[in-house]
Structure 1
Amino acid sequence: MLVFAHRGASGHEPENTILAIQQALAMKVDAIEIDVHLCDGELIVIHDRWLHKSTNGTGKVSDISFSELRKLDAGKGQPVPTLEEVLVEISGQCLVNIELKADRTVIPLMNLINKAVSEYGFSYNQFLFSSFNHHLLFEIKALNKDLNIGALTASSPIDYAAFAEQLNAYSVHIDVDFVSANFIADAHQRGLKVYVYTVDDEVDIIEMHRLGVDGIFSNYPTRSLVKIAHLKNLDSVDNINH
């Protein structure tokens, strides 16, 4: 079960900042999840379109200039980073899940990913692109069918993970409140990985392990990594005893 540092190690440092990325890397996580918007033509790493949610600014990301954005405090004096700055920081050390939060991001994103592979030590299979806007995922696949996409859902569809298979997705990402044994079985039968967000409570970690999901998104990655290692050890002991 992979552990994705949700918005970096956001339980420890301001979310989606370089500090949160550095902390996640120090924790030796399997993957880092970040959110991408477009501001004044620049790909930036921030979760909400409303600035007040994670900075000392006001208004929308789309209504501010990039130079104005860079003056804002995203926590502990950290600026809102560009996606390129985050990728330079990670430099191929782990898988990166980039969640697209806005339209018109795909073309500049693909250009940057090509640069990251040629200059920053990444391989293409170290990227996983996700979004609640499945049209953006379709656009990515149309440009490069070999890239991995993850279809996000905050519900339990009638036909379970069929929507993700239709997108030719690598994975399906589902809210912890909606994941079920039936959903997981359906997704796995379709050849999809199942990644669950956001899993911080010990009881949820245990349940996700029991259900056999492929990964979890956590704000406290070390806590999750330690618990998962403990659960795996218990499984090994149980197998030996049997």
Structure 2
Amino acid sequence: MLIFAHRGASKAAPENTLKAFKLAFEQDADGIEFDTYQHESGIIVFHDRTLTRRARETGYLLDTPWQSLKQMDIGDGEHIPSLSETLQCVPSDRWCNIEIKHLYDVNSWVEDVKKAIKQSNISTSQLLISSFNHHWLNAITDLWPEIKIGALTASYELDCTASARTLSAYSVNIALDAVNKQFVQTALQEGFDVFVYTVDEPRDMLMLKEWGVTGIFTNLPNVAFNTLSD
């Protein structure tokens, strides 16, 4: 079962920072997951719409110039990274899940992601794009049909793979509170990988492993590695 570090090793280092991502790989994570916004200056890695929680600043992320954003301390002296900086810290044999929180132009988004990939060592085959906004994902697949799509959901719908089928997705990325064994079996039988978020308790990790889940997103990649290696 694959272990994705949710916003990096985010219990041990500030979330969505290069420090958290590098630590995740040191803790044997198979990949990292992080949040992105399409800013007027490019794609940046951050979770919140506002700066209050992470940067202890007033104002909105997208209203703030990139030059100001990258000077902000978001914990332990770490700064908000760009997508390119983030991908450059990913080893060539590891996975990357880019979650989209905001985009305004799909064409330039795809161009910027492809440019960031070329500046890194990662393989497109181990890149997964997810979002709760399936309209964005659908538009991305129209422009970039070979990219892997994760149909992100927090609910167990009556037709649990409907969105994944519509998007020609690679996986269904579902919340721990919504998933059950039948959901996993159905999705796997229909050819979709299943990734579950956010899984920090060893008991849940072992349950999902028994169900055959493809991978988990966790804030504690070291705990997941030790639990699942036994």
TM-score between the two structures when normalised by the length of structure 1? 0.90
Aligned pairs for 1:181-220 within 5 A: 181-220=181-220
Q: 1:55 to 1:224 in 2, by over 3 A?
A: same
The match for 2:22 is 22
Q: CA deviation at 1:38?
A: 2.3
The match for 1:234 is none
Q: Mind listing any 5+ residue stretches in structure 1 that lack a counterpart? A: 231-242
Q: State the alpha-carbon separation in 1 of the partners of residues 102 and 179 from structure 2.
A: 25
Q: Mind listing any 5+ residue stretches in structure 2 that lack a counterpart? A: none
Match for 2:96: what amino acid? V
- C-alpha contact 1:200 1:218 (8 A) present in aligned 2: yes
Q: State the alpha-carbon separation in 1 of the partners of residues 162 and 3 from structure 2.
A: 25
Match for 1:140: what amino acid? I
The match for 1:70 is 70
The match for 1:45 is 45
Aligned partner of residue 108 in structure 1, secondary structure:
helix
The match for 1:240 is none
- C-alpha contact 1:40 1:64 (8 A) present in aligned 2: no
Q: CA deviation at 1:112?
A: 3.1
- More helix, by proportion: 1
Aligned partner of residue 129 in structure 2, secondary structure:
strand
- Aligned structure 1 segments of 4 or more residues deviating by more than 4 angstroms: none
Aligned partner of residue 90 in structure 1, secondary structure:
coil
Q: 1:57 to 1:93 in 2, by over 3 A?
A: farther
Q: How big is the alpha-carbon RMSD for the aligned residues of Structure 1 and Structure 2?
A: 1.4
Aligned pairs for 1:134-173 within 5 A: 134-173=134-173
Q: CA deviation at 1:107?
A: 3.0
Q: State the alpha-carbon separation in 2 of the partners of residues 103 and 180 from structure 1.
A: 31
Greater alpha carbon shift after TM alignment, 2-11 vs 20-29: 20-29
Q: CA deviation at 1:109?
A: 3.4
Cα shift readout 1:26-84 (whole Å, capped 9, x = no counterpart): 12211110110123332110011121122222221111111121222111111111111
The match for 1:106 is 106
Q: State the alpha-carbon separation in 2 of the partners of residues 120 and 17 from structure 1.
A: 17
Query: Which has the higher Rg, Structure 1 or Structure 2?
Result: 1
Greater alpha carbon shift after TM alignment, 53-62 vs 4-13: 53-62
The match for 1:60 is 60
Aligned partner of residue 228 in structure 2, secondary structure:
helix
Aligned partner of residue 205 in structure 2, secondary structure:
helix
Q: CA deviation at 1:105?
A: 5.6
Aligned partner of residue 99 in structure 2, secondary structure:
strand
Q: State the alpha-carbon separation in 2 of the partners of residues 113 and 65 from structure 1.
A: 20
Aligned residues: 230
Q: CA deviation at 1:110?
A: 2.0
- C-alpha contact 1:18 1:86 (8 A) present in aligned 2: yes
The match for 1:83 is 83
Match for 2:50: what amino acid? W
